[in-house]
Amino acid sequence: MTALEKATGDVVFKFEPFVLHVLCQELQDAQLLHSVAVNSGFRNSGITVSRGGKITMAVRSTHCLEVPLSHKGRLMVSEEYIEFLVHVANQKMEENI
């Protein structure tokens, strides 16, 4: 809170989703991993194939959070709300684990 109160610009509370990149030898391996990831709740997962033929499977969660806290140095939310955001972000981290 002390650092936030000293901020002179815009401050955003941000929680990034989990991402795991796996290089696969065969497309079938990537497809199997993709199926497991999606069925496990990682709905933003996908497969990419580079021009050189590298097959990458990306396991991505949907657990993200981005909330503005201050604008031009003016705090826009209460300390209680920030504590709530931290709690929500920690829950999302537990879900990632």
* HEC profile of 40-64: CCCCCCEEEECCCCCEEEEEECCCC
Low-confidence ranges of the chain (pLDDT < 70): none
Model's pTM, two decimal places? 0.70
Residue 87: its pLDDT value, please?
A: 96
Residue 3: its pLDDT value, please?
A: 87
Residue 13: its pLDDT value, please?
A: 95
| Residue 96, both tokens | 């990632």
Nearest Cα to Cα of residue 6 among 70, 66, 68, 67 = 70
Residue 25: its pLDDT value, please?
A: 95
Look up tokens 């939310």; give the residue. 77
Residue 63: its pLDDT value, please?
A: 83
Nearest Cα to Cα of residue 10 among 81, 77, 65, 63 = 77
Calculate the CA dihedral of residues 34, 38, 44, 47 and round it to 10 degrees.
10
